[in-house]
Amino acid sequence: MLDQQDEDDFQKHTPVKAVIDWISDLEPSSILEVGCSSGRAYRALKNREFSERYTGCDVSESVIAKNRDLCPEATWVTSQVYQLPFESGMFDVCFSLYVVEHLVYPEKALTEMLRVTKEGGYTLLLFPDFQETGMFASQQAGFSFGRTSEKLKQGKLLDALVTFYDNRFRFPWLLNRLKTDMQGFFVNLQPACLYYPHLARPDYDAVYIASKAEVIDWAEKQDHEVSLPKGERGMFRDHAFVAIGKGSSVE
């Protein structure tokens, strides 16, 4: 799915562009990207004339090996986010793009990302706010995995009706309950990818029921300064851009 995504479209995607531009304006001397995938964010930074120390880490050894061949001037490391192989306070900026929602232990990951961030540096996160939108792509709606329109075309009328009900009413109600009745990084233990391994759709393997309100509340309780650089309206209502300043004020 990553290989099929056009790199120009990735760099022009408004939330991604906002994060890359914000990092570029900071002019950091050292950057760590958690979940670097195919290195598209690094190349976007290079296009903005970033030439300082960049390190990208990902769990996939094959992806990291390919990145080393394509961009040998950067540092590429195979690692999980839960135990990053770096000294504390090593990077001016640690960031991730659409990674947090795929983590079974998001709190542990956030703690580790902040550990390797320098005092006065920033941990930046971009992720879909499932609780805000009332949508959760990895949860099966209806009797089978798929969109309402697809099921209608296949003649699965009852399945399509239940899918429509789940997506428009049941899931939003359940996700809203998490905001009002519960606390603590909740995850979906039965994501669709476990039952439909041959499908590849955005967030069908998401597990953390991501919420910017929850992330902000957690970070502030850890005595970090937090802001939403692009606010929370329009596209940034659904795509949370959260900046956590480690021991500093975020403007």
Beta bridge partner(s), residue 78: 58
Please give the structure tokens belonging to residue 134. 């009332």
Q: Convert the pLDDT of each residue in 79-88 to its tens digit.
A: 999 999 999 9
Determine how many CB atoms are found less than 10 A away from the CB of residue 122: 26
Q: What is the pLDDT of residues 16-44, one digit of tens each?
A: 999 999 999 999 999 999 999 999 999 99
Using alpha carbons, select from 122, 71, 76, 114 the residue that is nearest to residue 251: 122
Q: In sequence order, what DSSP letters do the residues of 41-109 get, joined into one string?
A: HHHHHHHTT--SEEEEEES-HHHHHHHHHH-TTSEEEE--GGG-SS-TT-EEEEEEES-GGG-S-HHHH
251 pLDDT higher than 60: no
The CATH classification number of 7-129+210-245 equals 3.40.50.150
Global pTM?
Answer: 0.89
pLDDT at 63: 94
Query: Quick one: average pLDDT of 30-59?
Result: 95
pLDDT of residue 88: 96
| The predicted structure's pLDDT at residue 11 | 65
Say yes or no to pLDDT of 249 above 50: no
Residue 250: pLDDT band with limits 50, 70, 90: very low
What average pLDDT does the segment 43-59 reach? 94
pLDDT of residue 146: 83
Q: Tokens at residue 160, please? A: 């399509």
Q: Where in the chain is the domain with CATH 3.40.50.150?
A: 7-129+210-245
- What is the structure's pLDDT at 142? 86
Distances (CA, A) of 59 to 33, 72, 120: 12, 18, 28
pLDDT digits 0-9 by tens, 158-181: 999 998 888 888 888 877 777 665
What's the mean pLDDT when you consider all of the chain? Answer: 89
- pLDDT the model gives residue 3: 61
